[in-house]
Amino acid sequence: MSSVQQPDSRVVGRMGDPEKLQSAATGETTQEVREDAKKASRKVIHLSSADPHRAGMAPLSFVRQVGEVLAVCLYPALLDESGLPLDVRQRAETLLGACGGGSVGSYSTCSWGLPQVLRSVSEFITRRDGGVESHPEDIVFSTGSQKTLWLVFHLMAGAVETTQTGVLTPVPFPHTLPALMEAYEVELVPYQLMEDRGWAVDVDEMQRALKAARGHCEPRAVYVSNPGNPTGHVQDRKTMEAVIRFAAAEGLVLLAEEVNQDSVFGQDREFLSYKRVLFEMGKPFSETVELVSFHSISSACMGECGLRGGYMEVINLEPQVKMYLRNMQASRSPPVLPQLALELMVNPPSPGDPSYQTYAQEILHIKTTLSQNAQRACEFLNDLPGVTCQPVMAGVFLYPRLSLPSQMIEEAEMLGVKADVFYCQRFLEEEGVCLGAGSENGLDPPNIHIRLCVLAPHDTLEEVLARLRSFHLRLLSRFP
């Protein structure tokens, strides 16, 4: 992500300083912007990141509302409460029993994670993948999917001494990736997703990117996001098989980010894990392709972004490499509370449990809200002049393209910022809504995009869309 240049003080005007402009691009607001919003008697609405709780969605009550599982684990005296559902008491007692000393304040009983949670995760993967077996020893916990990538990049960067390691990465990509790669001097090798095909993956484009990269870096992995972040595209089996064959032919590790797997709502679409497709392809692929897949409690339905918990499953990696990854994590002893939240995500209430009906209703509400909001916002955006938005199939973002007047682009250039940042900052200042600038995801002008999280209460989304229409039309009138 390029830094913002210092603009000429004579043309900054009401736009403020570059730090303020850059903060809009990263989904943050400065104190100055928050104060402006207070003066306008408007609450700033944050829809730039996949953080549903910040956007106003309620957390799952089984997980952590008062008197529920995590609350009891943190304060075991609640076990004596007479109104506590039986399954909540049983789950809390089981989880506390898995903790050293019966307390979440103790280190994990095993240096790389609680054995019970490791088993629960592997059992979840086995169920999800139609019986394709998962093993606890293939699971590595971390403080979120970004930390798992940190571990992998750290390992890859140290494997090649003479040439910089490269990773084929989709564009647009998750906006946190570049910083992780830069930290270990891993080169981001971009391959373009096909916007006119709903942001589909094209293996021929992967091959082009690979050939272009060889000679100035050593590509060692290909990164895929399925369902796509921020595009919402869901890959079909045929595409996934082609990607696996490509990775096998080129000797690349396949890195599969699958955090949005619980949020597929597109008609006739279903989530298939890369592991399932790999093993259903049979030998030699199932025994040779090196696969690392990622999941997290920051998923759409769980939404526990702040607890920072996730895991990776490593397949076909050399035993010493897998042990190295586990030992890297073990040296920091994974936090206990995120592991407990992860266990609740992969092992939720079952039919017949006292908490099941409430849990099922809340999950249905989240998925219905997400599906309806995505359809509503997509139709709305395509109705705005100069805006086009591909229909999404999953995930929490829309990623529309903007066709902005040349005068507006020129003004942004005078300020030393990108046009999408300029647009988002204006929208934040004038209407109190924080959206993500599309250039964070790797697309630069003339491809101007914005990123909008649609996992928010329906009323909140409607308010944002009304403010966006007013702002967008007003802005176009200023730049005929």
Spatial neighbors of 31 by CB under 8 A, at least 6 apart, are none
Structure-token pair, residue 268: 């006739």
Q: What is the pLDDT of residue 42?
A: 64
Q: With contact defined as beta carbons under 8 Å apart, do 451 and 397 qualify?
A: yes
Closest CA to 402 of 376, 422, 375, 432: 422
CA quadruple 240, 275, 399, 189: dihedral positive or negative?
Answer: negative
Radius of gyration of the chain (CA): 23
Closest CA to 281 of 313, 254, 311, 260: 254
Q: How many CA atoms lie within 13 A of 59 on its CB side?
A: 20
Amino acid in the structure at residue 108: S
Longest dimension (CA), the chain: 69
Q: Which residues of 466-480 are buried (b: 16+ CB within 10 A; e: fewer)?
A: ebbeebbeebeeeee
Q: What is the pLDDT of residue 80?
A: 83
Q: What is the pLDDT of residue 160?
A: 58
Q: What are phi and psi of 283, to 5 degrees?
A: -75, 150
Q: What is d(CA 29, CA 111) in angstroms, rounded to the nearest whole number?
A: 39
Domains of the chain: 9-58+361-478 (3.90.1150.10), 107-346 (3.40.640.10)
Q: What is the pLDDT of residue 159?
A: 62
Q: Residue 248, Cα to own-chain centre: how many angstroms?
A: 26
Q: With contact defined as beta carbons under 8 Å apart, do 205 and 170 qualify?
A: no
Q: What is d(CA 295, CA 313) in angstroms, rounded to the nearest whole number?
A: 9
Closest CA to 108 of 418, 416, 326: 326
Q: What tens-digit pLDDT sequence spans the chain (480 residues)?
A: 332 233 332 222 333 333 333 344 344 444 444 455 444 446 788 888 777 777 778 776 666 553 488 888 888 888 887 778 888 889 989 988 888 888 888 877 676 788 999 999 999 999 999 999 999 999 988 887 777 888 888 888 866 567 889 999 999 999 889 988 888 889 999 999 999 999 999 999 999 999 999 988 999 999 999 999 999 999 999 999 999 999 999 999 999 999 999 999 988 899 999 999 999 999 999 999 999 999 999 888 888 888 888 899 999 999 888 888 877 765 567 788 888 989 999 999 999 999 899 899 999 999 999 999 999 999 999 999 999 999 999 999 999 999 999 999 999 999 999 999 999 999 999 999 999 999 999 987 788 999 999 999 999 999 999 999 999 999 999 887
Q: What is d(CA 421, CA 17) in angstroms, rounded to the nearest whole number?
A: 13
